[in-house]
Amino acid sequence: MNEIFYHYTDINGLISILSHEELWLSGIDFMNDNTEGKVVFDRIYNSIDDPSIQRKLGHLFNLCINTNRIFATSFTKNGDQLSQWRGYCPNEGGYSIGFNFDKLEELKIDKPSSENKFRVFKSVQDLLKNGPGQILFDACTYSQEDTFEEQVQVIADFVNEAVKDVSDEHFAAMKKLNYDALSIIGLLNDQEKTNKILDFLFRISKVVALYKDRGFYEENEYRLMYIDKPLPSKPFIRGKNSYPLSFVKAKFDKRAVEEIIIGPTRFEKFARKGLYDLLNSFNLKAQIKCSKIPYTS
């Protein structure tokens, strides 16, 4: 299939990604959509008639927030889109890095406490069919799309199955424990139910992170996501704006980088020459292209 997916970044991001052969996946609670994870939960909640299941869903949402950490970075099929250049790159210019995901069968996730290789699942269906998995690459679904309601119903059925045998009292007790995973495991005192809830949280976290508000539809976003298991280990921390930002490092095979597009800039001649030298220094064979958009800031 050999489809190319593009990641937009600035010059410092480009150099870091190519020199270290790694992408930084940030916690999705730091993304620019403040409805992250909430869109699908709200729709599921409204589709359920049973007040008891609705209450349990509220508890599950808080459990998802507290027991699983989701880290992601974004891609799109359009490597030369004005809104992307303006939204994710500085005024002086940026770059979109074209990755061939057919060449990314596994990634090494690096955290301060561990480094492990994981298979990259290429669809939610693939992941749910073949195992719990921790890395997923798939398209986001936006709330106005025809498939949204159908997929919400599938997830709602999954919710019903996961919570029907867990009492309201158990969920109320989880709330009192601030949804702490270790405390909850001890509270349930039933390994089968515990595994059922934790498996649900692990799987549903992957799915809900792919649902976004219609306002972001133009981005046509694809996400590469790593979902830390319950009782996650510590991520890396870096500074962004005025706050600390959590992230993990995903190390890739540099042969997956097939092209790099130089964004609209008045420094195009220098950018092309410098990029040629940069690729040579890292023995990369990626094709160099320039944006066709006649825009200068």
Total domains in the chain come to 1
- pLDDT tens per residue across span 81-129: 999 999 899 999 999 999 999 998 889 988 887 778 887 878 766 665 5
Residue 295 lies in a domain: no
Residue 259 lies in a domain: yes
Q: Which residues pair with 100 in a beta bridge?
A: 4
Q: Where are the beta strands (DSSP E) in the chain?
A: 4-9, 22-27, 69-76, 95-100, 106-111, 114-121, 135-139, 141-142, 211-212, 221-228, 236-240, 243-251, 257-262, 287-290
Average pLDDT, the chain: 80
Instruction: Out of 87-96, 147-156, 200-209, 234-243, give the one with best mean pLDDT.
Output: 87-96
Between the alpha carbon of residue 195 and those of residues 78, 166, 206, the distances in Å are 41, 12, 17
Residue 76's pLDDT band, with cuts at 50, 70 and 90, is very high
pLDDT of 272 over the 80 cut: yes
Residue 103 lies in a domain: yes
Alpha-carbon gap, residue 236 to 24, rounded angstroms: 10
pLDDT score of 166: 72
Least confident residue range of 168-172, 247-251, 272-276: 168-172
Residue 296 lies in a domain: no
Burial track 209-242 (b if 16+ CB lie within 10 A, e otherwise): bbbbeeebeebebbbbbbbbbbebeebbeeeeee
* H/E segment holding residue 65: helix 51-67
Residue 133 lies in a domain: yes
Give the other-Cβ count within 10 Å of 185's Cβ: 18
Residue 17's pLDDT band, with cuts at 50, 70 and 90, is very high
In a 13 Å sphere around the CA of 125, the CA atoms on its Cβ side amount to: 3
Burial class (CB in 10 A: 0-12, 13-18, 19+), 159: buried
* H/E segment holding residue 181: helix 181-188
Residue 86 lies in a domain: yes
For residue 239, what is the DSSP state? E
pLDDT score of 201: 66
Q: Which residue has the higher pLDDT, 26 or 202?
A: 26
Residue 74's pLDDT band, with cuts at 50, 70 and 90, is very high
Alpha-carbon gap, residue 251 to 135, rounded angstroms: 12
Q: 122, 123, 120, 203: which is closest to 155 by C-alpha?
A: 203
Angle among Cα 24, 141, 227 to the nearest 5 degrees reads 35
Give the other-Cβ count within 10 Å of 90's Cβ: 14
Residue 61 lies in a domain: yes
pLDDT score of 266: 92
Average pLDDT over residues 261-270: 95
Residue 297 lies in a domain: no
Burial track 65-79 (b if 16+ CB lie within 10 A, e otherwise): ebbbbbbbbbbbeeb
pLDDT score of 112: 82
Domain that holds residue 240: 4-290
